[in-house]
Amino acid sequence: MKNQSFNYIIVGGGSSGCVLANRLSEDPKNSVCLIEAGPKDRSPWIHLPIGYAKTMWDPKLNWKFQTEPDPGMNNRQIYWPRGKTLGGSSSINGLIFIRGQKEDYDGWRDLGNPGWGWDDVLPYFKKAEGNDRLGEPLHSQAGPLKASSIPKKHPLVEAFKKTANLMGIPSTDDFNNLTQEGVGYYQLTTSKGFRCSTAVAYLKPAKTRPNLTILTNSQACRVLFENKKAIGIEIVCKGIKQIIHASHEVILSAGAIQSPQILQLSGIGPSKLLNQFNIPVIQDLPGVGENLQDHLQYRLIYELNQRISTNDQLSSWFGQLKMGLDWLLFRGGPLSIGINQGGLFTRVMADSKTPDIQFHLATLSAEMAGGKVHPFSGFTMSVCQLRPESRGHIRIQSADPLVPPKMLANYLETQYDRDTSIAAIKFARKLAQSEPLRSLITREVKPANVESDAEILEFCRNSGATIFHPTGTCQMGPDSNPMAVLDAHLRVRGVEGLRVVDCSAMPTLPSGNTNWPAVMLAERASDLILGKVGAN
């Protein structure tokens, strides 16, 4: 493998990288190398939707990052799981099919990113989508990444829906419509009872192409330059350093944590930071690693007075046997769905023109996502603010690529974020205290004995956790934005032959789960790279 050369090198075999590997290798004239730090996606827990609870803690498949002590969270360190296998976080995530709001992408365009408005990105969302139920004009049933409906109604979700309806929130069967507001069942990134990661959807059909080379268990260290042109990547595989050359482009798709880390290790980033570690500065770009955004979630847990939760099925051998048989015989039941079934988007702030909070309703309860379920019948309402104002950063703390960077989200940094969080908790509790949902509830487990705004905010600081959506750390933007790392073609400013294609490129966080936006981004980037479309 030493000193091999390819047209394109893609660093990171995750949600965006698998898409790029497929699309760039469709033309047999293009030689493509995909580099992934983790192993192949062979674990059965990846492919079984409920296996999320296992992969959440598996160091072989998960980077298991920890943030710096966060002042907004009473100096707690927050656990940040990220996928470390083919498929990346799409192999370990919660499977939710959400695009975000039309206004999110029009906002990207209006920030000086031509070609990224809603009308521009919708064709790429549809190119990716293979929906089991929804079709034109907003959806497609022909794409590789499957979006499946939950086939069976659940009494808890039904009560949740009826309660929300009585509070003025309409039912919806499509959260990816032009109007996101509503309550209903999520569609999931599954197919016939199995997870449909980007490795399954995009990489599996392409992996036998002779012009595509896939390297697993290979850690990217830094981008190599000749003058200011990216010419390759230095990697470590089985403890041995190797050089891989790129004749056309190097594309970083390592995610919002590791793409900025690799740039900084390569001499692209804030010069003051790079000088601390004696890294020669190739290009002084102060925005590399800045503008970090994430969705902070709060888990409200309730005990039920009926044995209708997944806790009950998991707590008995008979329940587990039935779950297993449902999946083996029919590819149905809880094993085929995962954790969250019900969703809700609404507004809690007076100035919000579109939904500003999102619910994930889980038919089980545990102290944290992927944790051991409680011994009682329980469920969880997780609620998050969709468009936080708080900004954090990713910064290397060593020149050693095997040392994780410092991660600080600065959660709840702004008063608006604090006010929205308090309003979100109040709304969730009001929902739980209203009929018909209230009739199913024995007690509020979490938060308990919390009443005043100050107490609610303290609950947020003490128990809030990531919902796994870090973005923005290599934002695209116009020349007039000194913090913009990329142009609207996702090219790194000041150098040649280098792009970033993943959630770090997003200037602002989409209103919802980020997996599908990451796929859309890579679909459009593929056309940009191949010259099939320009930024208008």
Query: Is 327 within 8 Å of 335 (Cβ atoms)?
Result: yes
- Residue 311: which region, alpha, beta or left (left: phi > 0; alpha: psi -120 to 50)? alpha
Instruction: Specify the pairing of strand 187-188 against strand 357-362.
Output: unpaired
Give the integer Cα–Cα distance in Å for 448 and 301. Answer: 9
The H or E element that residue 323 is part of is: helix 317-330
Give the integer Cα–Cα distance in Å for 204 and 198. Answer: 9
Here the tokens at position 351 are 């100035």
Instruction: Specify the pairing of strand 340-346 against strand 182-185.
Output: antiparallel
- Residue 250: which region, alpha, beta or left (left: phi > 0; alpha: psi -120 to 50)? beta
One-letter amino acid identity for 503? C
Give the integer Cα–Cα distance in Å for 355 and 346. Answer: 4
Q: What Cα–Cα distance (Å) separates residue 209 from each residue in 33, 205, 213, 248? A: 11, 9, 8, 19
CB within 8 Å of 138: residues ≥ 6 apart:
122, 126, 174, 176, 177, 178
Query: Which member of 139, 295, 469, 489 is catalytic?
Result: 469
Kindly write down the DSSP assignment for every residue of 183-209, as one continuous string. Answer: EEEPEESEETTEE--HIIIIIHHHTT-
Q: What Cα–Cα distance (Å) separates residue 181 from each residue in 165, 176, 357, 362? A: 12, 10, 10, 19
- Residue 12: which region, alpha, beta or left (left: phi > 0; alpha: psi -120 to 50)? left
Instruction: Specify the pairing of strand 357-362 against strand 378-385.
Output: antiparallel
Give the integer Cα–Cα distance in Å for 508 and 476. Answer: 10
Give a three-class secondary structure readout of 122-175. HHHHHHHEEECCCCCCCCCCCCCEEEEECCCCCHHHHHHHHHHHHCCCCECCCC
Say whether 47 is catalytic: no
Enumerate the active-site residues: 469
